[in-house]
Amino acid sequence: MIPSEEQEQMVVCQYLDLRHLSYWHTPNSTFTKSWSVKARNTRLGVKAGIPDLFVIINNKLHGIEMKRVKGGVVSKFQKDWIAKLNNAGIETIIAKGATEAIEFINSKLKEK
């Protein structure tokens, strides 16, 4: 059985907590049938495609878009945001599973 993207991301968050790294997840999806809530969120700046996690490692901000090990699809909006963030100097990756995300985090921790 392949873990869900949510399960993979929770593992990464647990790892980040263990390493005492500062990070956040922007709850960018609006799971509601209310058009007024969706419209309000849009006015407040909710944008499709924002990476799942932002992590500060060695005083640098990094983005991580989480996907399942198998079956995860990167949307056009995600590709666009990843390109914009990388061009702005915020290294952002697509991690297929918690293992890839943790390997990326560890590689950044080794850079000083």
What are 15-54's pLDDT values in tens digits?
A: 999 999 999 998 876 677 888 988 888 898 888 899 999 9
Closest C-alpha among 62, 73, 63 to residue 96: 73
Look at 69 and 46; give whichever has higher pLDDT.
69
Kindly list the strands in the beta sheet with 22-24, ordered across the sheet, starting from the edge strand earlier in the chain.
22-24, 53-57, 60-67, 92-96
In the chain, where does DSSP find H-type helix? 5-18, 35-43, 76-87, 98-110
pLDDT of residue 30: 66
Domain range enclosing 23 = 5-110
pTM score of the predicted model: 0.92
Place of tokens 């490692």: 57
Judged against a pLDDT cut of 90, whether residue 112 lies above it is answered with no
pLDDT of residue 62: 98
What CATH number does residue 61 fall under?
3.40.1350.10
- Count of structural domains, the chain: 1
Rounded distance between C-alpha atoms, residue 85 and residue 88, angstroms: 5
What are 80-111's pLDDT values in tens digits?
A: 999 999 999 999 999 999 999 999 999 999 99
Judged against a pLDDT cut of 80, whether residue 66 lies above it is answered with yes
